[in-house]
Chain A
Amino acid sequence: MTETPDTAHGTRDARAPHRTPDARGHGPDGSGTGLDARLVVERGAFRLDVALTAAPGEVVALLGPNGAGKTTALRALAGLTPLSGGHLRLDGTALERMPPESRPVGVVFQDYLLFPHLTALDNVAFGPRCHGATKASAREQAADWLGRLGLADHAGAKPRRLSGGQAQRVALARALATRPRLLLLDEPLAALDARTRLEVRSQLRRHLADFEAVAVLVTHDPLDAMVLADRLVVVEDGRIVQEGAPSDVARRPRTDYIAQLVGLNLYRGEADGHTVRLDDGPSLTTAEALSGPVFVAFPPSAVTLHRDRPAGTSARNLWHCEIAGLETHGDQIRADLRGELRLAADLTTVAAAELDLRPGAEVWATVKATQTHAYPV
């Protein structure tokens, strides 16, 4: 992965096919339903500048590495961090000057921030209370929400007596109880252990599917993003580098970060028919015939390693490499290769032993053209 594609490129192109203009209904003046925002936040050397739009019912995931500005974007949407520029409209109403308590926005915080001195019921009733409901009515609504999320039995429990999954659902109920037009979820599954996570993820997916307004969630976990969201917005260094349907982003990554997340080798080069001349490396033979600047991606499992230069192989993509590192990856061994091309290769433990692989060893790597995937930049 020697390639670092110019990240800003192709953002528009990638987004265009996945737009559903009929569902969006934005007028030219920005009126209409859903979210229409350009969030600019400047803090010292860091600058966040992302444009976000979403239709009611849509779940958008902000995906990106730590420090990319995802949480800052979320805080800006909630009004907890002031905007340095841009605009923020929700269902046609400008929110950018509104204090957080006046915004029709619900937030599920990463560590939930359930009020420790209140029961689950009173936590959920807090929002309706603040919106003017009487104590009795607020509690009635809260009980209803807890029931919907399967927590009726835990209404009287204080947060410290709830499990991680239960606390997460109470936090969701608390955010939903104010009937927000924009639901924000900050790393909603990060605080859970692996087993709970699986279960909560599918529950959360159901609840988000039922939610009729806009939902924006922030995560650094590609699986969470793919399972929960209708659309991914990948943020790196405060900018959007790619946008699109989860399957599309996974199949056609545009930056090293996403390629690594979804486990692909990614290169950029100039295509001429089935041959792609990489920007600073050898050529690649691809299945697709294209021309002009392209990305080429293939999974590490598509790479075959040989100790000696293979003779009579059908693979047209053959490179001489050196093993820079080895690590276990599930039940496989992942080899980090440098040389003519930098790439990751997966092989079984048995194969690794037979090849007598060790860092520094020289190998030949082959990839069948049919295993590669090329797409325009």
Chain B
Amino acid sequence: MTELDVGAATGPPKGGPRRVRTRGGPGVPLPLLLPALIGLAFLIVPLVALLVRAPWRSMPELLTSAEVWQALRLSLVCATAATAVSLVIGVPLAWLLARVEFPGRGLVRALVTLPLVLPPVVGGVALLMALGRNGIIGKSLDDWFGITLPFTTTGVVIAEAFVAMPFLVISVEGTLRAADPRFEEAAATLGASRFTAFRRVTLPLIAPGIAAGAVLAWARALGEFGATITFAGNFPGRTQTMPLAVYLALQSDPEAAIALSLVLLAVSIAVLAGLRDRWMTAG
């Protein structure tokens, strides 16, 4: 970052292959600098455009509409619930992967990471096959308990957790692997059962990693679109989260879409700022 800033400040090259000097460092060769600057612009320009084109004058009006608040509240509630679900079942899963040797552990880890690379829409379809009214589990849930998950707010939470939990598991597992397992041994020699050792020693030690993983998962859940619209649909007030609202608004009211996007951008920046310290320290 600093190198590029300094480079930009030095002004554009005036004829001939000039090298941009950085403070104390070696020169940055042009074949690297040019693509780097293009890359930077590629990432930043769209966000700048969003700010430039924002209907600042009508913004208060757009943002105070009932639909926006409804969607924002639903998004926050569902992302938080999905993160909570991920914590409750994801942290023990990460512990299992990091600390217990069992046959097929590599395969299990691969399966856990699969939703990371799986197109979210496919995840949504898969969830329908499992938990939909005619799904392999959903049918029984419906028949025996009268519980229907798809196209409900609970469905939104499930879809978001499905997509976001792998981020948490990977992050926590990495922290666990980096943490010295001998602390657990020390706890055992002091009379702690494995669960007590986990609760009183391991958990506090990996708390930064859990927090980082939770924030990542929360951010991923907040932006979730594909799996949510496939599994939970797009019903305002029930399953229409912010990203869905943005997409819908873009068809009818582009200004509203920009306003909603800005809200999500602001939330993302807030998350990033909150994460920055953790990011550096957590493995």
Indicate which residue in B188, B190, B193, B201 contacts A80 across the interface (CB closer than 8 Å): B188
Interface residues as binary, B181-206 with A (CB distance below 8 Å gives 1, 0 otherwise): 01101111111110010001100110
Contact between chains at A101 and B193 (CB < 8 Å): yes
Q: How far is the CA of A178 from the CA of B192 in the complex (A)?
A: 11
Contact between chains at B185 and A101 (CB < 8 Å): no
Known contacts A115-B201, A117-B205: A101-B192 contact under CB 8 Å: yes
The answer, yes or no, to whether A358 is at the interface (CB within 8 Å) is no
Contact between chains at B205 and A80 (CB < 8 Å): no
- In the complex, which residues of chain B have a beta carbon less than 8 angstroms from the beta carbon of A106? 189-190
A120-147 interface with B by 8 A CB criterion: 126-127, 130-131
The answer, yes or no, to whether A113 is at the interface (CB within 8 Å) is yes
Contact between chains at A126 and B204 (CB < 8 Å): no
Q: How far is the CA of A102 from the CA of B193 in the complex (A)?
A: 9
- In the complex, which residues of chain A have a beta carbon less than 8 angstroms from the beta carbon of B143? none
Indicate which residue in B180, B187, B193, B205 contacts A126 across the interface (CB closer than 8 Å): B187
A-B contact count (CB 8 A): 57
Contact between chains at A78 and B191 (CB < 8 Å): no
- In the complex, which residues of chain B have a beta carbon less than 8 angstroms from the beta carbon of A101? 188-193
Q: How far is the CA of A107 from the CA of B188 in the complex (A)?
A: 10
Q: How far is the CA of A126 from the CA of B205 in the complex (A)?
A: 15
- In the complex, which residues of chain B have a beta carbon less than 8 angstroms from the beta carbon of A126? 187, 190, 192, 200
- In the complex, which residues of chain A have a beta carbon less than 8 angstroms from the beta carbon of B200? 126
Q: How far is the CA of A334 from the CA of B190 in the complex (A)?
A: 47
- In the complex, which residues of chain B have a beta carbon less than 8 angstroms from the beta carbon of A79? 188-189
CB distance from A279 to the nearest CB of B (A): 45
Q: How far is the CA of A103 from the CA of B185 in the complex (A)?
A: 13
Q: How far is the CA of A127 from the CA of B180 in the complex (A)?
A: 19
Q: How far is the CA of A107 from the CA of B186 in the complex (A)?
A: 7
Q: How far is the CA of A126 from the CA of B200 in the complex (A)?
A: 9
Contact between chains at A105 and B189 (CB < 8 Å): yes
- In the complex, which residues of chain B have a beta carbon less than 8 angstroms from the beta carbon of A116? 205
Contact between chains at B189 and A107 (CB < 8 Å): yes
- In the complex, which residues of chain B have a beta carbon less than 8 angstroms from the beta carbon of A78? 189
Indicate which residue in A113, A130, A175 contacts B192 across the interface (CB closer than 8 Å): A130
B165-191 interface with A by 8 A CB criterion: 180, 182-183, 185-191
Q: How far is the CA of A106 from the CA of B190 in the complex (A)?
A: 7
Interface residue tally on B, bucketed by range: 10 to 19
How many chain A residues touch the partner (CB < 8 A)? 23
> Which of A105, A109, A113 has the largest number of chain B CB atoms within 10 A?
A113
Indicate which residue in B180, B191, B205 contacts A131 across the interface (CB closer than 8 Å): B191
The answer, yes or no, to whether A292 is at the interface (CB within 8 Å) is no
Q: How far is the CA of A105 from the CA of B192 in the complex (A)?
A: 12
Q: How far is the CA of A99 from the CA of B187 in the complex (A)?
A: 12
Interface residues as binary, A246-263 with B (CB distance below 8 Å gives 1, 0 otherwise): 000000000000000000
Task: Report the nearest B residue to A78, measured CB to CB.
Answer: B189
Q: How far is the CA of A100 from the CA of B194 in the complex (A)?
A: 10
Q: How far is the CA of A105 from the CA of B204 in the complex (A)?
A: 25
The answer, yes or no, to whether A239 is at the interface (CB within 8 Å) is no
- In the complex, which residues of chain B have a beta carbon less than 8 angstroms from the beta carbon of A105? 189
Task: Report the nearest A residue to B191, measured CB to CB.
Answer: A130
Known contacts A101-B188, A101-B191: A130-B183 contact under CB 8 Å: no
Contact between chains at B205 and A99 (CB < 8 Å): no
Contact between chains at B183 and A113 (CB < 8 Å): yes
Q: How far is the CA of A175 from the CA of B192 in the complex (A)?
A: 13
Contact between chains at A80 and B191 (CB < 8 Å): no
The answer, yes or no, to whether A174 is at the interface (CB within 8 Å) is yes
CB distance from B123 to the nearest CB of A (A): 37
Q: How far is the CA of A116 from the CA of B207 in the complex (A)?
A: 13
Known contacts A117-B204, A126-B190: A80-B183 contact under CB 8 Å: no
> Which of A101, A131, A174 has the largest number of chain B CB atoms within 10 A?
A101
Q: How far is the CA of A80 from the CA of B194 in the complex (A)?
A: 12
- In the complex, which residues of chain A have a beta carbon less than 8 angstroms from the beta carbon of B187? 115, 126, 130
Task: Report the nearest A residue to B205, measured CB to CB.
Answer: A117
- In the complex, which residues of chain B have a beta carbon less than 8 angstroms from the beta carbon of A113? 180, 182-183, 185-186
Q: How far is the CA of A109 from the CA of B196 in the complex (A)?
A: 20
CB distance from A103 to the nearest CB of B (A): 8
- In the complex, which residues of chain A have a beta carbon less than 8 angstroms from the beta carbon of B180? 113
CB distance from A29 to the nearest CB of B (A): 28
- In the complex, which residues of chain B have a beta carbon less than 8 angstroms from the beta carbon of A109? 182, 186
- In the complex, which residues of chain A have a beta carbon less than 8 angstroms from the beta carbon of B182? 109, 113
Task: Report the nearest B residue to A127, measured CB to CB.
Answer: B190
Q: How far is the CA of A311 from the CA of B190 in the complex (A)?
A: 68
CB distance from A241 to the nearest CB of B (A): 28
CB distance from A82 to the nearest CB of B (A): 13
Known contacts A113-B182, A113-B183, A126-B200: A174-B190 contact under CB 8 Å: yes
CB distance from B141 to the nearest CB of A (A): 40
Q: How far is the CA of A67 from the CA of B190 in the complex (A)?
A: 26
Q: How far is the CA of A127 from the CA of B189 in the complex (A)?
A: 8
B182-238 interface with A by 8 A CB criterion: 182-183, 185-193, 196, 200-201, 204-205
Contact between chains at A130 and B205 (CB < 8 Å): no
Q: How far is the CA of A131 from the CA of B191 in the complex (A)?
A: 6
Q: How far is the CA of A103 from the CA of B193 in the complex (A)?
A: 12
Q: How far is the CA of A103 from the CA of B187 in the complex (A)?
A: 12
Using a CB–CB cutoff of 8 Å, the interface residues on chain A facing chain B are 78-80, 99-103, 105-107, 109, 113, 115-117, 126-127, 130-131, 174-175, 178
List 9 A-B pairs, Cβ < 8 Å.
A79-B188, A80-B188, A100-B188, A101-B189, A102-B191, A115-B186, A115-B187, A115-B201, A117-B204
Given contacts A101-B192, A103-B189, A130-B190, 17 further A-B contacts (CB under 8 A): A79-B188, A102-B191, A107-B186, A107-B189, A113-B180, A113-B185, A115-B187, A115-B204, A116-B205, A126-B190, A126-B200, A127-B191, A130-B191, A130-B193, A175-B189, A178-B190, A178-B191
Q: Which 5 A-B pairs have the closest CB atoms?
A: A130-B191, A127-B190, A113-B186, A100-B188, A107-B189
